[in-house]
Structure 1
Amino acid sequence: MLSEVLPAEAFGFLLVTIRLAALVMVMPILGEASVPRRIRAGLALTISLIVYSSVREMLPPIPDNVFGLLVVMVRELLVGLIIGLATRILMSATHTAGTVIAFQTGLSAAQSFDPAQGSQSALVAAFMTYIAITMIVVLDLHHLMIMGMAHSYQKFPVGEILAYADYATLITEMVSDSFLLGFHMASPFIVYSLIFNLSLGLISRMVQGFQVFFIGMPVNIFIGFSLMMILIGGMMQLFLDRFRELLLGFLG
């Protein structure tokens, strides 16, 4: 009797672990490169053990052949990667906003490591990403992502055929929503930059020989920092509200 139960339990736990391990390794906050791999692997196994007890009835039986087993495992890996990638795309809105702000305020040359991108980016973009990560953890939004791991079995049941067109549409919508959110966050700086540059152009036309670049550059940076100090709270509130809304809509 035990020899019949153990393979089925091991197969079910393996399927859950494959999906959730892919999620943990790709998701923002939980899967950042700064988190040691052993901690991420331990977190994935712990979450898999908890989720498995609640979704074991939804799991299919063991396939009759090795090919069927590989197909199911690869499908679960792809589902985990797609869900994790979608949430990371949402997180990139802060990078988009920070990059636009840096270009508008003349700070694009200042580079720093961006944890969300895993590479060098504009200092303002990295700064906004760090703030977003901190606020997500403080407001327990990372719990929402963990809950979404268990809910993913209701929206993406195990064993169903992957609708690649639907997934492609979903990812496209997530990219457009994230890009639009980033521009919404940076919109005050775009308006400011337009007015500021037009003003400098008018001054250079009216006052011949006026050193617009040497005067405008430090003024632009000073006003940019001042606007950042005033608007950072509203921008982060907009990001967190939209991040929660988009995440709830995606996870169902």
Structure 2
Amino acid sequence: MELLLNDPFTYLDIFLLIFVRMISFFISVPLFGIRTIPKTAKITMAFFMAVIIINLNPMEIDVTSASVVPYALLVIKEFIVGWLIGFGAYLAFSIITLAGQLIDYQIGFTMVNVFDPLSQIQLTITGNLYYYLLLLMMLATNTHFFLIKALTESFKWIPLGKAVFRPGLYTSVLSFFTEYFVIALKIAAPMIGVMLIINVVLGILARATPQMNMFVIGLPLKLMVGLVVLLVTLSVFPNVSGWIFDRMLSFVDLIIKGMS
């Protein structure tokens, strides 16, 4: 409160910038960014987080709200910083969604879609299942606390108004996109391998017995085998989720350091 009593205008200007970074983070990050969560809850959480941070870390800015254009640029910059940190975590969650879509393509579930309230797009049922299982693992392992800690630590690495978008940030994002598809293929590799074997067997049977309708036989066969493989691979899902969480935290760290 000493800062508020000495210079209330500077205090409010700093508080608004912190609040903007917080609210943009809670909009884009998984779990907190789900659209079904009331907006008032997100705003309240961002407000109290900003109150805590402004009391823990003394901060300064070069301009005030009296300078409209420079201060508006700072607000936009802080919004981008918070959004990029949350979006980095969301990209890591998209890995498991892509893996689920690849699995559904092999089983034949691509026509069965469900609505994802976070991304506002249609997802396949296995992709949606994997996504919410990953959210549950995130809550069970308290990984969301590490994301909040990374956001609070970002004020030490990226002071208010000091964010710099270096070329290393873009190369880090591009390299992660390359790894994004590789990891998704690795997760879906057991299902892809099993379905490849089934397609080869069905092809041999089609040549050996042309009178058999392989479409009628292959569709339920792929469905049953796919569900069995899906059930078996769920046993290693905790290890996969831990791997994804490690990549998510390291990628968020790269984004923060790339803007410092």
Same fold per TM (> 0.5)? yes
Cα displacement (A) at 1:215: 0.8
Q: Classify the secondary structure of the residue corresponding to 1:92.
A: helix
Letter in 2 for 1:134: L
Q: CA RMSD in A?
A: 2.0
Q: Does residue 190 of structure 2 align to residue 203 of structure 1?
A: no
* Aligned twin of 1:219: 221
Cα displacement (A) at 1:187: 0.9
Q: Is the 8 A contact 2:143 2:245 kept in 1?
A: no
**Within-5 A mapping of 1:153-192:** 153-163=155-165, 165-192=167-194
Q: Classify the secondary structure of the residue corresponding to 2:122.
A: strand
Q: Does residue 65 of structure 2 align to residue 60 of structure 1?
A: no
Q: Classify the secondary structure of the residue corresponding to 2:183.
A: helix
Q: Does residue 241 of structure 2 align to residue 239 of structure 1?
A: yes
| Alignment size in residue pairs | 251
**Within-5 A mapping of 1:27-38:** 27-38=29-40
Q: Does residue 115 of structure 2 align to residue 133 of structure 1?
A: no
Q: Classify the secondary structure of the residue corresponding to 2:224.
A: helix
Q: Is the 8 A contact 2:88 2:251 kept in 1?
A: no
TM-score, with structure 1 as normaliser: 0.91
Q: Structure 1 residues 206 and 22, CA, compared in 2 at 3 Å: closer, same or farther?
A: same
Unaligned runs of at least 5 residues, structure 2: 255-260
* Aligned twin of 2:116: 114
* Aligned twin of 1:147: 149
Q: Structure 1 residues 225 and 144, CA, compared in 2 at 3 Å: closer, same or farther?
A: same
Unaligned runs of at least 5 residues, structure 1: none
Cα displacement (A) at 1:236: 4.2
Q: Structure 1 residues 121 and 31, CA, compared in 2 at 3 Å: closer, same or farther?
A: same
* Aligned twin of 1:25: 27
Q: Is the 8 A contact 1:86 1:174 kept in 2?
A: no
- Cα distance per residue 1:154-182 (max 9 Å; x no partner): 33332225325333223323333333222
Cα displacement (A) at 1:50: 1.4
Q: Classify the secondary structure of the residue corresponding to 1:56.
A: coil
Q: Is the 8 A contact 1:89 1:174 kept in 2?
A: no
Q: Is the 8 A contact 1:26 1:81 kept in 2?
A: yes
